[in-house]
């Protein structure tokens, strides 16, 4: 009888040990899969972040170009505006020098003076 008990204990031990091994294997496999998923997710996020950085750099370059164009337009505007004011002053001075009243010759918005 002792022999059968030893066989039973050995059988139960083998089944329990095998189950425990399977449980550990399952747990380790699950951890490995989770680690791989996390790594893949981090890699995707890194790629997306790098893409966004490049997009930001492109937009910054575009903004600098737009700001330069705006500065050029401002410079051209002030040049034309200054020339206009000088011309207007010259016309006003010529009219006064010839004894004419600018209010009678120029349109109302132009005759107000310089």
pLDDT for the residue numbered 71:
97
**Cα(85)–Cα(110) distance, integer angstroms:** 11
| Mean pLDDT value of segment 106-111 | 68
Output the pLDDT for position 97: 92
pLDDT 10s digits, 22-57: 877 887 788 778 888 989 999 999 999 999 999 999
DSSP assignment, residue 109? T
Distance CA 103, CA 47 (A): 70
Query: For residue 79, what pLDDT is reported?
Result: 97
pLDDT at 84: 92
Nearest CA among 81, 108, 111, 109 for reference residue 96: 111
Residues in CB range of 111: below 8 A, 6 or more apart: 102, 103, 104, 105
pLDDT, position 3: 76
Q: For residue 19, what is the enclosing H or E element? A: helix 2-97
């Amino acid at each position: 009888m002792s022999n059968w008990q030893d066989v039973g204990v050995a059988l139960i031990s083998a089944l329990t040990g095998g189950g425990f091994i399977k449980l550990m294997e399952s747990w380790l496999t699950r951890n490995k899969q989770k680690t791989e998923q996390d790594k893949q997710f981090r890699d995707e996020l890194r790629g997306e972040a790098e893409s966004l950085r490049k997009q930001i750099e492109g937009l910054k370059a575009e903004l600098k170009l737009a700001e330069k164009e705006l500065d050029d337009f401002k410079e051209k505007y002030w040049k034309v505006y200054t020339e206009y004011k000088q011309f207007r002053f010259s016309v006003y001075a010529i009219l006064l020098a010839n004894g004419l009243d600018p209010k009678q010759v120029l349109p109302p918005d132009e005759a107000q003076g310089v």
